[in-house]
Chains A and B, each alone.
Chain A
Amino acid sequence: MTRFTVSVKIVPRHGLLDPQGKAVTDALHTLGFASVRDVHVGRLLVIELEAADTAAVQARVREMCERLLANPVTEDFVIAEIAAA
């Protein structure tokens, strides 16, 4: 077994109103970052776990997202980065 560090990004489902993202967009515009078109505010989870290989990590973390980490009604998740520790 190898120890892995995995980053999971969870973002509001595309198309759903994201008031936090809207508020940050407005604030960036106020600061003069006029080129900003959209911002989405989500969560980043960094998970350390033991697994045989990256495929096993992928499968395990996907299950974690589906069962707990992301809400299937309102959120999407991306397993962004898998690194052997």
Chain B
Amino acid sequence: MKVGVVTFPGSNCDEDALLAVREHLQVEAVSLWHKDHDLQGVDVVILPGGFSYGDYLRSGAIARFAPIMQEIAVHAARGGPVIGICNGFQIACEAGLLPGGLLRNDHLQFRSMPVTLRVESSNTVFTRDVERGALLTMPIAHGDGRYTADATTLDRLEGEGQVIFRYVDAAGQPTPAANPNGSLRNIAGVSNATGTVVGLMPHPERALDPLLGSTDGLVLFRSLLALTKA
């Protein structure tokens, strides 16, 4: 298996994502440049966090037109796994790889803090190694993380099991107080219909080392190892 991490101008979690795959998964990882048209034969694409194109216009709005995104759209359409983390989630939504959009946090503050997530589905390439209902601790660091979609779309996502992560309190309840940005229905992450494209605002690649307070991000990366056995 080979994993590609895209670098856009303004990406700042790309090195962390490369390190996560190389050091914690012991899998080959390559950097993909936004201007390239070549996915270098990767099996999995990571759209990392950061502030691509300075968040100009809207978070992720310009990045979706980068040349590499055309190849990623083809890869995703063929069922190739893609994970969008933070800004990568915003880009995936802008590109139409995932439903909905991410708006300014309801309190207008940039929030950098650990949050508790409840895993709502194991039926994705990135969560198949973690049980539904499991609680994971990971950091968030964003200003535009309020997940939004119209009510019909939200009902469809819930019904089809495409809500993958929800912000919850220590008891696992999706309370308003546990919601760090005003996301509708406490949604922290969603998937496409087939569970091959996943996006989330929290940073699993920053939750891999006990020194950083949590190793709960590892299960998302470990879930990918099933691809090597397949």
Q: Which chain A residue has the least Cβ–Cβ distance from B103?
A: A74
The interface size of chain B toward A, counting residues with CB under 8 Å, comes to 19
B contact residues around A80 at 8 Å (CB): none
Whether B106 contacts A19 by the Cβ 8 Å rule is yes
Whether A71 contacts B108 by the Cβ 8 Å rule is no
The interface size of chain A toward B, counting residues with CB under 8 Å, comes to 12
State in angstroms the CA–CA spacing of A43 and B56 once bound together: 11
The main secondary structure of chain B at its interface with chain A is: loop
Whether B108 contacts A20 by the Cβ 8 Å rule is yes
State in angstroms the CA–CA spacing of A68 and B96 once bound together: 12
A contact residues around B150 at 8 Å (CB): 73
CB of B61 within 8 Å of the partner chain? yes
Q: Which chain A residue has the least Cβ–Cβ distance from B146?
A: A17
CB of A69 within 8 Å of the partner chain? yes
Proximity bits, A1-38, B CB within 8 Å = 1, else 0: 00000000000100011011001000000000000000
Whether B106 contacts A17 by the Cβ 8 Å rule is yes
How many whole Å from A71's CB to the nearest CB in chain B?
A: 5
Whether B57 contacts A73 by the Cβ 8 Å rule is no
CB of B58 within 8 Å of the partner chain? yes
Whether A71 contacts B104 by the Cβ 8 Å rule is no
A contact residues around B182 at 8 Å (CB): 17, 19
Q: Which of A23, A43, A74 contacts B101 (CB 8 A)?
A: A74
Known: A17-B106, A17-B182, A73-B149. A68 touches B65 (CB 8 A): yes
Known: A16-B148, A73-B101. A68 touches B57 (CB 8 A): yes
Whether B61 contacts A71 by the Cβ 8 Å rule is yes
Q: Which chain A residue has the least Cβ–Cβ distance from B94?
A: A71
CB of B172 within 8 Å of the partner chain? no
State in angstroms the CA–CA spacing of A19 and B106 once bound together: 5
State in angstroms the CA–CA spacing of A16 and B150 once bound together: 9
A contact residues around B107 at 8 Å (CB): 19
B contact residues around A20 at 8 Å (CB): 104, 108
How many whole Å from B64's CB to the nearest CB in chain A?
A: 9
A contact residues around B70 at 8 Å (CB): none
A contact residues around B148 at 8 Å (CB): 16, 73-74
Interface residues of A (CB under 8 A from B): 12, 16-17, 19-20, 23, 43, 68-69, 71, 73-74
25 A-B pairs with C-beta separation under 8 A: A16-B103, A16-B148, A17-B106, A17-B146, A17-B182, A19-B104, A19-B105, A19-B107, A19-B108, A20-B104, A20-B108, A23-B108, A43-B57, A68-B61, A68-B65, A69-B57, A71-B58, A71-B61, A71-B94, A73-B93, A73-B101, A73-B149, A74-B101, A74-B103, A74-B148
Interface residues of B (CB under 8 A from A): 57-58, 61, 65, 93-94, 100-101, 103-108, 146, 148-150, 182
- 8 shortest interchain CB distances as A-B pairs: A73-B101, A74-B101, A19-B106, A19-B108, A71-B101, A74-B148, A74-B103, A71-B58
